């Protein structure tokens, strides 16, 4: 039972930890990814805009520089362009092109690009708008991503005689952007790991004491009143532990007061009940009573016996609650004890029209170490319950066998049985369920405690063909 409780507590704590960490990681990762994307977008825009601005500045400066050659003839002008292109210093990263009005390259610096006629729209746009135009995208000639800036070369009469074009591949910028994104993602990963470690430590500082509180609270709920939760916290968890400790202490005090009162009253009731039982027996032994009086005295005797049994159960239960219940152990012929109880009780039931059948067998049943008086009390309690709750079946079966090192005693009635939703509750103290039969509701609780003190087990279940089957398993070796 303890293992099951510990397993349940671990599952609960694990579930809360998983929920906490999942929610935290999702939020942190979502915000982190947004930040990584934002940083990547900002750096991408920065790199591209910086490169485009630089190329536009170069194009404007170069165009202004060549404006002085426009007064020369075309041959000298193009020769100047070729000379300038050949002397261009940034040929490894930036290509300079001079394009005539027909769109053909007449001069170009040496680089990674060939001298094919450009087909990107920036050249035509520069000619049409008479302004500097740019293009970013794939070069249709080779599929490589490029950035191109084209500036028109305008003659004095307003005629466009050519285009000056700067071209550069974007691979290096793209690598820088990817590197920036990777670094940002790495920082995010480290940050998430730090959040996980700190969150796990924080959650553990909450869930470990919370797990102890849950475990102790379950024990209190199951009747272990008075136990205290170790409290080393001066926060909300500490307040919760203190409240539960105070509640446990108050319940324990009230429970002790209740059982002290019950024990005291039970002792006080035993004296008058003994007198009533004794005098009723004396009157019944007289021959001077008429039939009506004898019937009344018999009822008094039977009810006083019932009250005496209830008082004894209350006293035993009070001893159990105070841990004062003791067993006088000895080696006992358990078959003989059970048979004596069945035959004695059977003679009483025959007067009420109920048949108590003993299922005999020739099996050898060993003696066991037990308290015969307490076990006889258990047998009588179960037989009483069988009569009260299943007597309408007019038959009770009883038997004893030896199985797997256990002495197994079975008592079955043929009444309506126990509702399925009440089977797990009938052994609890003062529980009577939906039964209309009179009783204190503690007989089974006392019997269950006595059987457990013997190292055994008391099982209640509904028989397959109707009625209630009670099984007592007692270890043959202890």
pLDDT at 478: 56
In the predicted model, is pLDDT for residue 305 greater than 50?
A: yes
Do β-strands 145-154 and 160-169 pair in parallel, antiparallel, or remain unpaired? antiparallel
**Which pLDDT band, with edges at 50, 70 and 90, does 5 fall under?**
very low
Provide the pLDDT for residue 408: 95
Among 76-90, 108-122, 397-411, which is the least confidently predicted range?
108-122
pLDDT at 112 over 50: no
Q: How confident is the model at residue 451 (pLDDT cuts 50, 70, 90)?
A: very high
In this predicted structure, what is the pLDDT of residue 14? Answer: 55
What is the pLDDT, as a whole number, of residue 216?
A: 81
Q: What is the pLDDT of residues 316-343, one digit of tens each?
A: 766 766 666 788 899 999 999 999 999 9
pLDDT at position 116 over 70: no
pLDDT score at 337: 92
Examine the pLDDT at 227 and tell me if it is beyond 80. no
**Looking at residues 265-293, what average pLDDT do you find?**
80
Write down the pLDDT at residue 1. 39
């009822």: which residue's tokens?
Answer: 299
Where residue 269 falls among pLDDT bands split at 50, 70, 90?
A: confident
pLDDT value at 436 more than 60: no
Residue ranges covered by each domain of the chain: 2-43+176-221, 67-173, 236-321, 330-475
**Most confident residue range from 158-162, 276-280, 400-404:** 400-404
| Residue 162: pLDDT over 90 | no
Q: Is the pLDDT of residue 22 over 80?
A: no
pLDDT in the model for residue 3: 39
Q: Would 67-173 and 330-475 be classified into the same CATH topology?
A: no
Report the pLDDT averaged over residues 292-298: 84
Residue 442, pLDDT above cutoff 50: yes
Strand 468-475: give its sheet, edge to edge.
355-359, 395-403, 406-413, 468-475, 457-462
Q: Alpha carbon of 185 to those of 14, 31, 43, 47, 188: distances in Å?
A: 29, 12, 14, 19, 5
CATH 3.30.450.20 assigned to 67-173: yes
pTM for this one? 0.48
CATH tag for 330-475 (out of 3.60.15.10, 3.40.50.300, 3.90.105.10, 3.30.565.10): 3.30.565.10
In whole angstroms, give the CA distance from residue 400 to residue 370: 16
- Between 397 and 72, residue with greater pLDDT: 397
Written in H, E and C, the secondary structure of the chain is CHHHHHHHHHHHHHHHHHHHHHHHHHHHHHHHHHHHHHHHHHHHHHHHHHHHHHHHHHHHHHHHHHHHHHHCCHHHHHHHHHHHHHCCCCCCCCEEEEEECCCCEEEECCCCCCCCCCCCHHHHHHHHHCCCEEEEEECCCCCCEEEEEEEEEECCCCCEEEEEEEEEECHHHHHHHHHHHHHHHHHHHHHHHHHHHHHHHHHHHHHHHHHHHHHHHHHHHCCCCCCCCCCCCCCHHHHHHHHHHHHHHHHHHHHHHHHHHHHHHHHHHHHHHHHHHHHHHHHHCCCCCCHHHHHHHHHHHHHHHHHHHHHHHHHHHHHHHCCCCCCCCEEECHHHHHHHHHHHHHHHHHHCCCEEEEECCCCCCCCEEECHHHHHHHHHHHHHHHHHHHHHHCEEEEEEEEECCEEEEEEEECCCCCCHHHCCCCCCCCCCCCCCCCCCCCHHHHHHHHHHHCCCEEEEEECCCCCEEEEEEEECCC
**Mean pLDDT for all residues in the chain:** 81
Mean pLDDT comparison of 63-72, 181-190, 240-249, 437-446, highest-scoring range = 181-190
Q: What whole-number percentage of the chain has pLDDT above 90?
A: 17
Q: What is the mean predicted confidence (pLDDT) over 52-75? A: 79
- More confident position, 309 or 15: 309
Domain 236-321 fold is: Helix Hairpins (1.10.287)
Dig out the tokens for 206 from the structure. 């909450």
Q: Decide if pLDDT at 12 tops 60.
A: no
pLDDT in tens, 356-398: 899 888 888 999 999 998 899 899 889 888 888 776 778 899 9
pLDDT for the residue 141: 80
Report pLDDT for 418.
83
């Amino acid at each position: 039972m303890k293992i099951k409780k510990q397993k349940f507590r671990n599952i609960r704590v694990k579930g809360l930890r998983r929920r906490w960490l999942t929610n935290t990681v999702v939020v942190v990762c979502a915000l982190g990814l947004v930040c990584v994307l934002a940083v990547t977008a900002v750096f991408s825009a920065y790199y591209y805009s910086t490169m485009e601005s630089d190329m536009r500045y170069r194009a404007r400066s170069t165009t202004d520089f060549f404006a002085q050659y426009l007064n020369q003839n075309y041959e000298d002008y193009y020769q100047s362009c070729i000379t300038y292109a050949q002397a261009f210093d940034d040929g490894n990263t930036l290509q300079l092109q001079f394009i005539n009005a027909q769109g053909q390259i007449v001069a170009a610096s040496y680089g990674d690009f060939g001298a094919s006629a450009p087909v990107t729209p920036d050249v035509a746009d520069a000619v049409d708008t008479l302004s500097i135009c740019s293009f970013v995208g794939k070069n249709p000639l080779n599929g490589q991503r490029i950035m191109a800036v084209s500036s028109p070369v305008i003659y004095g009469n307003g005629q466009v005689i050519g285009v000056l074009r700067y071209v550069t591949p974007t691979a290096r910028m793209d690598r820088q952007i990817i590197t920036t994104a990777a670094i940002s993602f790495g920082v995010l990963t480290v940050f998430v790991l730090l959040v996980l470690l700190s969150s796990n430590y924080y959650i553990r500082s909450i869930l470990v004491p919370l797990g102890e509180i849950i475990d102790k609270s379950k024990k209190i709920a199951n009747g272990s009143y008075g136990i205290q939760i170790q409290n080393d916290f001066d926060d909300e968890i500490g307040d919760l532990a203190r409240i539960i400790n105070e509640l446990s202490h108050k319940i324990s005090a009230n429970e002790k007061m209740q059982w002290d009162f019950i024990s005291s009253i039970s002792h006080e009731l035993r004296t008058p009940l003994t007198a009533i039982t004794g005098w009723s027996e004396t009157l019944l032994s007289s021959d001077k009573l008429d039939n009506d009086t004898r019937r009344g005295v018999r009822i008094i005797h039977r009810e006083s016996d019932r009250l005496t049994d209830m008082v004894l159960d209350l006293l035993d239960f009070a001893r159990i609650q105070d841990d004062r219940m003791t067993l006088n152990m000895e080696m006992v012929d358990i078959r003989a004890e059970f048979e004596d109880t069945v035959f004695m009780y059977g003679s009483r039931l025959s007067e009420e029209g109920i048949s108590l059948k003993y299922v005999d067998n020739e099996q050898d049943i060993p003696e066991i170490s037990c308290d015969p008086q307490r076990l006889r009390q258990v047998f009588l309690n179960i037989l009483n319950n069988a009569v009260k709750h299943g007597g309408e079946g007019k038959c009770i079966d009883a038997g004893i066998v030896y199985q797997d090192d256990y002495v197994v005693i079975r008592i079955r009635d043929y009444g309506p049985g126990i509702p399925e939703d009440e089977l797990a509750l009938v052994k609890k103290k003062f529980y009577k369920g939906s039964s209309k039969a009179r009783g204190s509701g503690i007989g089974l609780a006392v019997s269950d405690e006595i059987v457990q003190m013997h190292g055994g087990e008391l099982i209640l279940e509904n028989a397959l063909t109707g009625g209630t089957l009670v099984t007592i398993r007692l270890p043959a070796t202890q």
